[in-house]
Structure 1
Amino acid sequence: MLTMPTENKLLIRLSESDNVAVARIALSAGQTVTINAKPLVLRDAIPAGHKLAMEAVEIGKPVLKYGQIIGVATQGILPGEHVHVHNLGMVPSAATHGVGSAYQPVTLTQPGATFQGIVRADGRVGTRNYLGVISSVNCSATVCRHIAKLINEQVLSEFPHVDGIVAITHGTGCGMSGGGEGIALLQRTLRGYADHPNFAGVLLVGLGCEVNQIAPLVEMLGMREPGLFASLTIQGEGGTRETIDAGVAILRDMLPLANRAVRSTVSASHLVVGLQCGGSDGYSGISANPALGAAVDLVVRHGGTAILSETPEIYGAEHLLTARAATPAVADKLMQRLSWWEHYTRINGGDMNNNPSPGNKAGGITTILEKSLGAVAKAGSTGLMDVVEYACPVSTHGLVFMDTPGYDPVSATGQVAGGANVICFTTGRGSTYGCKPTPSLKLATNSALFRHMRMDMDFDCGGIVDGELSIADAGRQLFELILATASGQYSKSEEHGLGDNEFLPWQVGAVM
């Protein structure tokens, strides 16, 4: 886990071996800063969160941040110059893999932390109490939305212990092969949502003739209490109006059953926290990601689970995870998924350095190596206990890696399908991601963002950048916020009613 950054009030130096520092605030050309107790006159203006050279770097020589190579100089760089896309290029990661060398078994904290959760009949614990209306295919999406809208507007107020009706809709389910990876991913994702403990009950709605048939989906689902599961097809009911009426009647019957749910004190071992970052900036790997990593260590030490994802965004930092692998088999599973991604991007005419995004670069991130090294900080320092494929159920406690794309909505959808009952989402540019049925906490990397988007940000990590808050203290505060949110405290996105449109399964394969 990253320690407290040091240098002075203007710069952050993350490792003694680094040859770049990060600007805490915007700096001007000609301004004098202090490097190793020596004055340095800046040759360029340095935006906040961006890098400057602390020493000369010859062309082709490595640039180091976090004590790791983030690229090579594409031209000679002088001390005090801005280091970014104009003079820093990608280089293949050459880090060595000391598989398991950093793994240490976790000693659980006793007595463990608790939260107020909703215990379901099968023993799993929810953090929210929704009813879901889930479409098997895009053709039934509008019907699902109408059913949810009518119940939310006309009936829901009579049932105070139900958080709402969520329409889970998507853009696929037909025009695809009836076998293979594409439909397997979709069915796994829908199954994960339909079985999620944050849903007290579920209604599946299909068209009737789609490739992704309702009947096989139903066979894949776990048992629910009587009266809390049903399915319909539009063709079977005789049309859209008839299906909406039938769906509303079914949910009216489910509501009194769902309203019986009560919260009770449960162990923090029931926490399953999905780790996300989006709209990252130069501070992400310095403040919010390490703070989340410190909170993750507390979650794990209290018996809970954290899910790290976004495989393309750990590329170049995977050696930090394989070193923490509980077994060689776990490390091998991670490397197999990275090999799959290298092949996948290659056959689609891309490469693994198609990241960072324009917003990431504007915020100070230059290469995928730099972004990945900062992103891995979300995972804290405990052992990597398992690697699972997209949307597979996560049953192992501790830190688990789920293979997902780097696109945040697709990645978080997979995590929720795997059982995440809280999402923690770090952002430096300002993501507003909501995630029904799972609460999503947004962690601002800097205080300026937190103030500017106060109605959307849940936690301010900017004190770390300003030197006023330690990473450990931020982690403890965030852990308490996770417990409070799991106990029913609304996130900012929930306060604003956001999160109904973010369900986005990973689509792989031909559209036919």
Structure 2
Amino acid sequence: MKQEKTTNSLIVLHPEDDVAICRAQMISGNNADGISVKGLIPAGHKLARRAIAAGQAVRRYNQIIGFASKAIQAGEHVHTHNLEMGDFDRDYAVGADVKAEIPRQHAEFMGIRRRNGQIATRNYIGILSSVNCSTTVARAIADYFKMNNFLAEFSNIDGIVALTHSAGCGMDDHGAGMQILQRTLTGYALHANFSAVLLIGLGCEANQMGLLLQAGGLHEGENLKTFNIQDVGGTGKAVERGIALVKEFLPNANAIIREPCDVSNIVVGLQCGGSDGYSGISANPALGHAVDLLVAHGGTAILSETPEIYGAEHLLTRRAAKPSVAEKLLERIHWWEEYVRINHGEMNNNPAPGNKAGGLTTILEKSLGAVAKGGTSNLNAVYEYAQQVSERGLVYMDTPGYDPVSATGQVAGGANVICFTTGRGSAYGCAPSPSLKLATNSDLWRRQEADIDINCGEIVDGNATIEEMGERIFQSILATASGRKTKSELHGYGQNEFVPWQLGAVM
């Protein structure tokens, strides 16, 4: 998705494109590269470069983003009023764009080496709930340490966080929803960024503690403790017990040092939220370049959000390292088509209103920009939600598009850093894995600089190339993995963004 041409008025991504992106608001009578503008077109939105007949496919990135619902004149605004979804054949060309392996590059960051060999980027103590019913107790325990400023004496601990949820009962104890919840809790319990974990249940829930431990292969020990509220005598005693157990964790958790670690130990979860018309031009391809650098150093990146790669999946199958990888990806695409059908929806329910206000029209257009986060590296594996990621390089995890749910699955799979692009502005952070925010445009950067780590709007402004910004993102990933706080961490985000994917009927 190399940017073809930028002028003072328009961005043209490919010479065959039917539309160009407006760098600033355009009004009737403006001249944009020799095209007379007709009507008001907001910044980041699409202008027709030529006349488009009703029913004709409309291209951006030289890919189909929809079909004209009526005739469109050159210079008109192309958006939801005249562009709609439609069916078309994708050329999956499995493996056609697979690249030969390149010599491995070497770089280091300052990580935390655990006794079991895992490498951490942060050092948290986690309090997890098996069921919604133990949420209040879990949060009360975490709040005790925050209110009493306990960590002032334990400066090597990044925080004590309660990660709670609204599931765990009223569900089939052997169904897909339970399997996903147990995978997610297991992934967090084993995550390198937790030095120790306390897992709290109620006692009578469907997600029984013994079954959860068995399903995840978890065993109580020095760094994992569990109990049920009913077994210890109720809420007050449960809070007291939890506080005592966390106090036992503190000395060992604090006894860590950062040391040089190979970049191959970094696993980045890729997210985009509050996307706009610039996302596929600036932040997403710049992040994609950073991903290519990470992969060249032996690291791993997890691309996700299946509803937001819909219509662009053929760009990933072309990069599938093996036919089975492409088959697994398409299997998940078909699962989503059936899933939205039985829930009386459609894949084009996404983009969200904010995405459309920012210039995106169909899910096809949004997906083509979202896929750019994955760079150009080969796709080595496809995982289901919250499965442990074992392959290195670029991999895919099937998740919803809703950012907290998607990132929760990635972290459960092993992501120890999140990179999150946004064009509208997003209130998101993550624990225990730090989240870097990347703005797609400079207006957002000026409004929300306190929330954003990097301004990729410099690409749209003509002050940086995609490659230059990608290198900057890569270096920021290394600095973040080495302990530098992100803006969302400074604001205290992380506890409320733990949102496991809920599937199945609530009974």
TM-score (norm 1): 0.97
The letter of the residue matching 1:56 is A
Structure 1 residue 470 displacement after superposition: 0.4
The letter of the residue matching 1:146 is A
SS at match of 1:276: strand
Structure 1 residue 179 displacement after superposition: 0.7
| Distance in 1 of aligned mates of 2:501 and 2:114 | 28
SS at match of 2:315: helix
| Distance in 2 of aligned mates of 1:108 and 1:249 | 51
| Distance in 2 of aligned mates of 1:56 and 1:176 | 54
Aligned partner of 1:141 in structure 2 is 135
Structure 1 residue 218 displacement after superposition: 2.3
Q: Does 1:305 align with 2:307?
A: no
Matches within 5 A, 1:29-178: 29-34=28-33, 39-110=34-105, 112-154=106-148, 155-178=150-173
Aligned partner of 2:435 in structure 1 is 440
Residues 423-482 of structure 1, C-alpha deviations (whole Å, 9 max, x = no match): 000000001210111101110000110110011001100011112110000000000000
TM-score (norm 2): 0.98
Q: Does 1:20 align with 2:14?
A: no
Matches within 5 A, 1:160-239: 160-221=155-216, 226-239=221-234
| Distance in 1 of aligned mates of 2:197 and 2:451 | 29
Q: Does 1:11 align with 2:5?
A: no
The letter of the residue matching 2:472 is Q
Structure 1 residue 206 displacement after superposition: 0.4
**Equivalent of residue 280 in structure 2, options 264, 279, 285:** 285
Q: Is the 8 A contact 2:425 2:448 kept in 1?
A: yes
Structure 1 residue 109 displacement after superposition: 3.6
Aligned partner of 1:487 in structure 2 is 482
Aligned partner of 1:241 in structure 2 is 236
The letter of the residue matching 1:309 is S
Quickly say closer, same or farther: Cα 1:5–1:150, change in 2 above 3 A: farther
**Equivalent of residue 327 in structure 1, options 313, 322, 329:** 322
Aligned partner of 1:383 in structure 2 is 378
SS at match of 2:314: helix
| Distance in 2 of aligned mates of 1:95 and 1:508 | 29
Residues 238-268 of structure 1, C-alpha deviations (whole Å, 9 max, x = no match): 0110010011001101000100111110000
Q: Is the 8 A contact 1:4 1:470 kept in 2?
A: no
| Distance in 1 of aligned mates of 2:255 and 2:503 | 40
**Equivalent of residue 452 in structure 1, options 438, 447, 450:** 447
SS at match of 1:353: helix
Q: Is the 8 A contact 1:291 1:378 kept in 2?
A: yes
| Distance in 1 of aligned mates of 2:132 and 2:390 | 30
Q: Does 1:342 align with 2:345?
A: no
Quickly say closer, same or farther: Cα 1:108–1:421, change in 2 above 3 A: farther
Q: Is the 8 A contact 1:195 1:222 kept in 2?
A: no
Quickly say closer, same or farther: Cα 1:348–1:431, change in 2 above 3 A: same
Structure 1 residue 40 displacement after superposition: 1.7
RMSD: 1.1
Residues 197-228 of structure 1, C-alpha deviations (whole Å, 9 max, x = no match): 00000000000110001112223456789522
**Equivalent of residue 425 in structure 1, options 413, 420, 423:** 420
| Distance in 2 of aligned mates of 1:132 and 1:309 | 25
Quickly say closer, same or farther: Cα 1:139–1:223, change in 2 above 3 A: closer
Give ranges in structure 2 of 5+ residues lacking alignment.
Answer: none
Q: Is the 8 A contact 2:3 2:14 kept in 1?
A: no
Q: Is the 8 A contact 1:307 1:415 kept in 2?
A: yes
| Distance in 1 of aligned mates of 2:369 and 2:266 | 24
SS at match of 2:348: coil
**Equivalent of residue 399 in structure 1, options 394, 397, 400:** 394
Q: Is the 8 A contact 2:22 2:46 kept in 1?
A: yes
Residues 294-353 of structure 1, C-alpha deviations (whole Å, 9 max, x = no match): 000001000000000000110100000000000000000000000101111101101111
| Distance in 2 of aligned mates of 1:427 and 1:357 | 13
Give ranges in structure 1 of 5+ residues lacking alignment.
Answer: none
Q: Is the 8 A contact 1:116 1:266 kept in 2?
A: yes
The letter of the residue matching 1:149 is D
**Equivalent of residue 356 in structure 1, options 351, 371, 376:** 351
Quickly say closer, same or farther: Cα 1:93–1:422, change in 2 above 3 A: farther
Residues 144-189 of structure 1, C-alpha deviations (whole Å, 9 max, x = no match): 0000111233222111111110101000100111111010000000
| Distance in 2 of aligned mates of 1:327 and 1:459 | 35
The letter of the residue matching 1:138 is N
| Distance in 2 of aligned mates of 1:177 and 1:68 | 42
> Alignment identity in percent?
58
SS at match of 1:293: helix
The letter of the residue matching 1:320 is L
Q: Is the 8 A contact 1:108 1:302 kept in 2?
A: no
Structure 1 residue 113 displacement after superposition: 1.3
| Distance in 2 of aligned mates of 1:303 and 1:385 | 13
Aligned partner of 1:250 in structure 2 is 245
SS at match of 2:35: strand
SS at match of 1:335: helix
| Distance in 1 of aligned mates of 2:354 and 2:48 | 22
The letter of the residue matching 1:142 is T
| Distance in 1 of aligned mates of 2:372 and 2:460 | 15
SS at match of 1:340: helix
